[in-house]
Amino acid sequence: MVFGMLSGCVLDRSGTGADDSGPASPDAGRMDAAVGDAGVRLDGGGDGGPVGIDADTPGDDAGRDGGFDAGGCADGTVDLDGDPSNGCECVVAPQRCEGVDDDCDGTIDEGCTCSAGASRPCGTSDVGECRRGSQACESGAWGACVGAVEPTAEVCNNRDDDCDGVTDTFSEPCGTSMGICTEGTRFCAAGTLGGCTGIPAGTEICDLGRLDEDCDGVSNEDCECDGSMMGTCTMGACTGTRTCNGSGRWGACVIAAIETCDGTDSDCNGVIDDGSAICEVATGCDQVRLASGVYLLCYQKPGSDRRRGWTAARDYCASFGYHLVTIDDGAENSALMSAAMARVDGDWWIGINDEDGDSMFSWVSGRSRFEAWRMDEPDRGECGVIDTAENDWESKGCGGSRGFICEAPGP
């Protein structure tokens, strides 16, 4: 509407409302005022051309202004303060965020978040361990928050880490539900966590119930056995039983076998025919233990005569698991001489003979090459004896009834 009314007008630079062609119109002043009040700039372009309406164009910073320039400011300038004494003092420029109205539109730093040089506090709070920091304005926008300390998860250290105004008054779950254990709660007070209210882990016990006392998910680990369970065991050739003790270890192997006189360790206790009375009652012979082995010395004594010929003596020894003695060396020979002489001085059958008559004497066990014949022996018979009177060996005919020495075969 305004545009139609002014399309034929010329800019009045005199300020009187009259032009060169005739009297001034009474409404001219009012029109000038109305145009000025509407924010419309009357601009002749500065070159005396026709008058037109120059409305601000969006995006054209040089065309926006909030001043009064009806007096005829040049393009790019604005009389922002309306003071004719300083002319068109505002030079239109792109707006910068520096606290100045660069684009002369009457508004300072429009479109800016902040102005250059400005600063503000930042951060959550100044409660507890938190501290506020500061932000500076950089190119019209707030920069990073510097120096702020933000809340962290609360820990038991006598500090308000999460900045809620409360220090260390919290609890947390603890323990495990594994095994016999139960979960519980522990409370923080004055920087110290208290004990867990649940059932804690203990020492693993090798129990029959196979409970997991140490709460590691495995029961009775490192146990040979559980509780008081029983199991079988072996010792040598014997089978026995054993019982688990309270520490998860097997007790001693208990052998139920009874020792008999058989030239072996019948009860598997590591001793052959232990208990001399056993063999002496069974055989009627004396049991002798030497470093070299276990022996039976069979001879005539009051109320008992065990003398026999060589073959019968050999068989008698065998009936108890023994054999006629085989002498392996001089030490064994001397020990047997002494043991025999302490009982009866004379001849004792030993396990060497020449039964096939080839003049080659051999031991019944076949294991020894030791010999201690008297000079010019053996030449008197096929079976050997020790002569305790002469401390040497002789050969005799195998039929004579003499004492004899049996030997256990050993382990």
Return d(Cα 326, Cα 370) in angstroms, integer. Answer: 9
Question: Six-digit token pair at 371?
Answer: 């010999």
Long-range contact list for 57-66, CB < 8 A, 24+ apart? Answer: 61/92, 61/93, 61/94, 61/95, 61/103, 62/92, 62/103, 63/92, 64/92, 64/103, 64/104, 64/105, 65/41, 65/90, 65/92, 65/103, 65/104, 65/105, 65/106, 66/104, 66/105, 66/106, 66/107
Return d(Cα 162, Cα 152) in angstroms, integer. Answer: 5
Decide: residue 37, CB within 10 A, 0-12 exposed, 13-18 middle, 19+ buried: exposed
Q: What is the pLDDT along the chain (411 residues), one digit of tens a residue?
A: 333 333 332 333 333 333 443 433 333 333 333 333 333 333 333 343 333 334 343 334 434 444 444 458 888 888 888 888 888 989 888 878 877 888 898 888 788 888 888 999 999 999 999 999 999 998 889 999 999 999 999 999 999 999 999 998 889 999 999 999 999 999 998 899 999 999 999 998 888 788 899 999 998 888 888 888 899 998 888 899 999 887 788 999 988 888 889 998 888 888 898 877 889 999 999 999 999 999 999 999 998 899 999 999 999 999 999 999 999 999 999 999 999 999 999 999 999 999 888 888 999 988 889 999 999 888 889 999 999 999 999 999 999 899 999 999 976
Q: Compute the half-sphere exposure of residue 294: CA atoms within 13 Å on the CB side of its CA.
A: 24
Return d(Cα 100, Cα 231) in angstroms, integer. Answer: 100
Return d(Cα 402, Cα 295) in angstroms, integer. Answer: 17
- Exposure string of 12-30, with b = 16+ CB inside 10 Å and e = fewer, is beeeebeeeeeeeeeeeee
Return d(Cα 148, Cα 52) in angstroms, integer. Answer: 58
Residue with tokens 């009259």: 18
3-state secondary structure of 40: coil
Please measure the distance between the N-terminal and C-terminal CA atoms of the chain and give it in whole angstroms. 137
The model's pTM: 0.48
- Residue spans of beta strands (DSSP E) within 299-359: 300-301, 304-305, 323-324, 347-353
3-state secondary structure of 188: strand
Is the separation of the CB atoms in 399 and 385 below 8 Å? no
Residue with tokens 């037109």: 52
Return d(Cα 316, Cα 181) in angstroms, integer. Answer: 70
For the chain, list the domains and their CATH numbers. Answer: 113-169 (no CATH), 276-407 (3.10.100.10)
Question: Six-digit token pair at 247?
Answer: 């520490």
Rounded alpha-carbon distances, angstroms, from residue 94 to 45, 63, 66, 110, 294: 21, 11, 15, 11, 125
